[in-house]
Amino acid sequence: MVFATVAVCIAALVFLAYLVFRPKGNSTLPVPEGHWLWGNIFQFSCPRSDLLATRWSKELGAIFRLRLVNKNYVILNDYNSIHTAMVKKSKDFAGRPMHHGNRARYLYEYETSIFVASPSPQWKALRKSVHSKVKMYEAGLNEVEAVNMSVIAGLIGDFRARNGEAFNPQDNIYNAVMNIICVFLVGKKYRIDSEIFQLFKKVEQTTLTVLGPGAKGAELDVMWFLRFFGHKTFKKLTELRQWRRQLWAMTKQDLNSRTENDGEYGKGVIGALLESYQGSDDKLIKEINIMLTFQDLIFAGTSTTANSTQAFLNLMINYPEVQRKLQAEVDDVIGDSRPVSLKDRAMMPYTRALIFELLRYTSIVAMGVPHMASVDSSLDGHVIEKGTPVITNLWALHHDEAFWKDPFVFRPERFLDSDMQLLTADHPYRKHLMPFGAGTRVCLGESLALGRLFLLFTSITQIFDIKVGTKKVDADARDYLSGVILQSPAYDVRLVSRNEHLFV
């Protein structure tokens, strides 16, 4: 009798759990086979979820859904679906799934930043303000170039100090890129051993480990109660909030101690935002919104550029013929008597094509930044209900074997026409390339990022021959390490100087 009672109670609890956790809505989209109770959550919380989604798309179609416990997520895997959602129906899918993302809601203190919040009067005002400051910074072309080249000169010096011996370049690249971002944000370079610089790094690197597809702790988004049981990711989120506050306090103190004309680069984008906020009677934007946007911009600009540069060196090792073509263009246009300038880009189609191909080939932000349906909408005849998170699988888009010939071969010529000139922006290859997103929420720093990569790649190529070190790894991006930002496995490189008189 006791056994029967216990069995009935267990069955009742299981049925109750099913009623609570069953997905809401009646989506007609196909879904991968998963567990009857928790759906696909443990399948999708795997290394390289982009590769898994790409495999599923071959079975289920370009648009399918995942069931993560009681929540449906829509995954877009081809150009038509991604372009429709991000461009044609941009306003329909401009939201961010904060109500699904407990990690992001907690980390961002339930406040608005330019990346994680859905459109609202506050978000629009904040984005407009940030956009104007970025454009103001970008308009000073000579200043942007000076910022980058000042830090790149230090990176070249670090590389030269290796005397052509094999080493892992990851830390040197990361520190240099972080300092480029520091100057962009607050108008100042820092010693890499300083407390504030280490805090910049800690905030950026920890954000990578706790947010987004591929990050640890995704189960918190649907089982928030786990935070009460010593969950490691929740502890990291709490620490990160503390580090961010500490960094913000130190940054504000530093900015307030400087005048606009102190140093070479003023007070950067954040200094300009704070001055606008303090001088305005319109308090739609609060200081916490600027602080959270500060974190967003650190996160958006550092690991993306650093990992792209790390991938670049390894690609040049594995594709020596591409390196020779790049060096030939650098030597022909720039020569060996001066450093590179952003003005050189117009005469360097192969270099620009190489950057586009690297962005396609690596697709380091493989699953994009999640969007959300802001209204009831549809994609390819399927109803997408308001509030549904939508994930763009940029990896699948950039490696679609039906569109790209040999997608896992690194070939810059894809983006050149028959006259070896860069393809125009309306060419299908250019339109199928979306590393910075598209539409209403396209990345604000796209042109700055492209400029950074151009100056980094051409400067390194002008000064060094890039050769294999003692530890060689394949450049196949399918082997990249998982995370919010994909990363090339560790390797060694030898950088043999070929222009000793530059950057001295």
What's phi and psi for 384, nearest 5 deg?
-115, 110
Convert 127-164 to b/e letters by CB count within 10 Å (16 or more is b): bebbeebbeebbeeeebbbebbbebbebbbebbbebee
Pairing of strands 389-392, 71-76: parallel
Could you identify the residue written with the tokens 């888009």?
Answer: 397
CB 491 within 8 A of CB 468: no
For residue 114, which amino acid is it?
I
Residue 35 DSSP one-character state: B
Distance CA 350, CA 330 (A): 10
Question: Scanning the structure block, which residue is given the tokens 């649907």?
Answer: 222
**464-468 and 63-68 strand pairing:** unpaired
Determine which helix (DSSP H) or strand (DSSP E) holds 72, and give its type and residue range: strand 71-76
- Given its phi and psi angles, is residue 110 left (phi above 0), alpha (psi -120 to 50 degrees) or beta? left
CA dihedral 256, 260, 263, 269 (to 10 degrees): 80
DSSP for residue 95 = B
Round to whole Å and give the CA distance between 267 and 265. 6
- CA nearest 357: which of 431, 277, 411? 411
Q: Strand pairing of 71-76 and 63-68?
A: antiparallel
**Annotated binding residue 46:** no
Phi, psi of 484 (to 5 degrees): -60, -40
CB 118 within 8 A of CB 374: yes
Distance CA 214, CA 363 (A): 14
Annotated binding site: 443
Annotated binding site for heme: 443
